[in-house]
Structure 1
Amino acid sequence: MKRVVPILLLASLSACGLRPVYSGGSHGAVAQALGNVEVQPIEGKGGWLVRNALNDRLSTMGGGGPAYKLVVKLDDQISGFGLRADTAITRERRTLRARYQLIDMATGTQVIDDTAGSDAGIDVTSSEYATIAAEDAALERLSQTVADQIVTRIALFAAREKQR
């Protein structure tokens, strides 16, 4: 009896409906759809970083040519919130938000209109150089995070389309 219970539990897991998004590897439907996304230029340093991160993730997927166009608009803000008694800022928050749209190039239809974003805390030191370096490092990390969120959302869209 003790051996039957684990076997029944394992058998019930196969009926849970979960399927890997990237089934089929680089030849699967989701990977092919991701490989067919053309990322439009994005303004600013943050835009350059996000676009490169998106292209790094999407270009590794297979694809026969662009079927979708990805348009991204960024909002990059730095705000101070930690104050000393002499009103000097001791802490900053860098926030990177992206509004993105995935457009079917064949029909011109917008298939995704969504947002992604993240934020990071930055210590403000007496060295202006160190603070600027920390702000730049935060932007690089945030760009990677935002790109991951966008690619994940597009992959979920492609997986749903595959099931139709």
Structure 2
Amino acid sequence: MSSYSRRLLLGTGLALLAGCGFAPAYAPGGAGAALIGQVEVSEPETRAGYLLTRELEGRLGRATAARYELRPAISLSTKAISIDRSNVASRFNMLGRVEYALVDRETGLTVTTGSVDSFTAFSATGTPVATQAAERDAEVRLMTILADQLVTRLVATVPDAAR
């Protein structure tokens, strides 16, 4: 395919997206931009809560005069997925779920609710210290994944009034 054909194909695709109302979420006036600095996450009570809050604030900014409050409830569990010949678990899945509510601080009404879930794995081979470090690292990765999903859901369901 020639360079001209590629540019023509790309230009046609972009024109079609623009024609259907596609707009980048974080462009000025986009749904994602409307949430930047407008969402305060409830104070975390656990390490996982702190990690999730840190990731969310990294994506949405730290709110100073927030319009919304995000109330996440995190549940984590760990399940053995690999057991060796001596009946010792050597690999684990860490499962995570965040149920959330986005509340309008002015009216006190719940704007949206939902949940996101995912998993990550870690190895338990080596010393107990190495296993604990691997588990803590898996928790960081899992909270990053869940924060990404949560922000995507919030951007998709942002109220029209905030746009």
Structure 1 residues 67, 82: CA separation in 2 closer, same or farther (over 3 Å shift)? same
- Give the counterpart letter for 2:160 in structure 1: E
Q: d(CA) in 2 for partners of 1:47 and 1:82?
A: 28
Quote how far apart the aligned CAs of 1:64 are.
6.9
Structure 2 residue 12 is matched with structure 1 residue 9: yes
Percent identical pairs in the alignment equals: 29
Q: d(CA) in 2 for partners of 1:65 and 1:86?
A: 57
Residue of structure 2 in register with 1:35 after alignment: 37
- Give the counterpart letter for 2:116 in structure 1: A
For the 8 Å contact 2:31–2:155, the answer to whether it is kept is no
1:52-63 → structure 2 map (5 Å cutoff): 52-59=54-61
SS in 2 for 1:133: helix
Q: d(CA) in 1 for partners of 2:65 and 2:41?
A: 12
The aligned length equals: 156
Q: d(CA) in 1 for partners of 2:123 and 2:17?
A: 47
Structure 1 residues 113, 29: CA separation in 2 closer, same or farther (over 3 Å shift)? closer
Structure 1 residues 28, 17: CA separation in 2 closer, same or farther (over 3 Å shift)? closer
Q: d(CA) in 2 for partners of 1:31 and 1:13?
A: 20
In structure 1, stretches of 5+ residues that fail to align are none
Q: d(CA) in 1 for partners of 2:32 and 2:64?
A: 13
Residue of structure 1 in register with 2:52 after alignment: 50
Residue of structure 1 in register with 2:75 after alignment: 75
Q: Deviations over 1:119-138 (max 9, x none)?
A: 11111113111111110111
Q: Deviations over 1:34-90 (max 9, x none)?
A: 311111012211111111111222216xx7721111001100111112112221111
SS in 1 for 2:36: helix
SS in 1 for 2:157: helix
Structure 1 residues 163, 105: CA separation in 2 closer, same or farther (over 3 Å shift)? closer
SS in 2 for 1:20: coil
SS in 2 for 1:108: coil
For the 8 Å contact 1:42–1:73, the answer to whether it is kept is no
For the 8 Å contact 1:120–1:142, the answer to whether it is kept is yes
Compute the TM-score of the two structures, normalised by the length of structure 1.
Answer: 0.82
Q: d(CA) in 2 for partners of 1:37 and 1:12?
A: 33
1:15-164 → structure 2 map (5 Å cutoff): 15-24=19-28, 30-59=32-61, 65-158=65-158, 161=160
Q: CA-atom RMSD, angstroms?
A: 2.7
SS in 2 for 1:14: helix
